[in-house]
C-alpha cells in the first residue's frame, strides 16, 4: 500500500465518520469533549474530585456515541472518563440539530 493509498483510505474513513455523526446527532441531547475524545450522549454526570491536592474530573455518560475513526462499535451503553484536563459539556437544543432541509441530509 502506497502512502497515497493510505492517505486516501484515512480520508474516506474520516468522511464516513462525519456522515455517521450527521446521521445520529439528532438522537442525542449532549455533546461532550475531553482531551482525548468527542462524545454524543443522552445522560451526562460530571463530578469534580480532589486527591492529594490535585483536582480531576470524573465523567459518566450513558447511551453514548464515540467519535473515533478506529472504533468498529461507536455506540456504547456507558462510558466512564477520568481526566485531569478540561471537559466541555453542552446541551443541544433540538433546533440546533437540524443539519439538513426537509428532513433529508445533503450528500
For residue range 16-54, what is the model confidence (pLDDT) as tens digits?
999 999 999 999 999 999 999 999 999 999 999 999 999
Tell me the average pLDDT of the chain.
88
Q: The pTM is what?
A: 0.77
CB 82 within 8 A of CB 58: yes
Exposure of 49 by Cβ count < 10 A (0-12 exposed, 13-18 middle, 19+ buried)?
Answer: exposed
Q: Take residue 13 and report the three cell numbers written for it.
A: 474513513
Per-residue pLDDT, 78: 96
For residue range 45-74, what is the model confidence (pLDDT) as tens digits?
999 999 999 999 999 999 999 999 888 889
106 has a pLDDT exceeding 80:
no
Domain boundaries, the chain: 3-91
Q: Is 52 left (phi over 0), alpha (psi -120 to 50) or beta?
A: left
Dist CA 64 CA 29 (whole Å): 10
Amino acid at each position: 500500500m502506497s502512502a497515497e493509498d493510505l492517505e486516501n483510505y484515512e480520508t474516506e474513513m474520516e468522511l464516513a465518520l462525519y456522515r455517521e455523526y450527521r446521521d445520529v446527532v439528532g438522537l442525542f441531547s449532549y455533546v461532550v469533549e475531553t482531551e482525548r475524545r468527542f462524545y454524543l450522549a443522552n445522560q451526562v454526570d460530571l463530578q469534580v474530585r480532589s486527591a492529594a491536592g490535585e483536582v480531576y474530573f470524573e465523567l459518566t455518560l450513558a447511551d453514548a456515541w464515540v467519535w473515533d475513526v478506529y472504533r468498529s462499535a461507536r455506540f456504547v451503553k456507558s462510558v466512564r472518563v477520568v481526566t485531569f484536563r478540561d471537559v466541555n459539556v453542552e446541551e443541544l437544543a433540538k433546533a440546533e440539530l437540524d443539519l439538513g432541509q426537509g428532513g433529508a441530509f445533503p450528500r
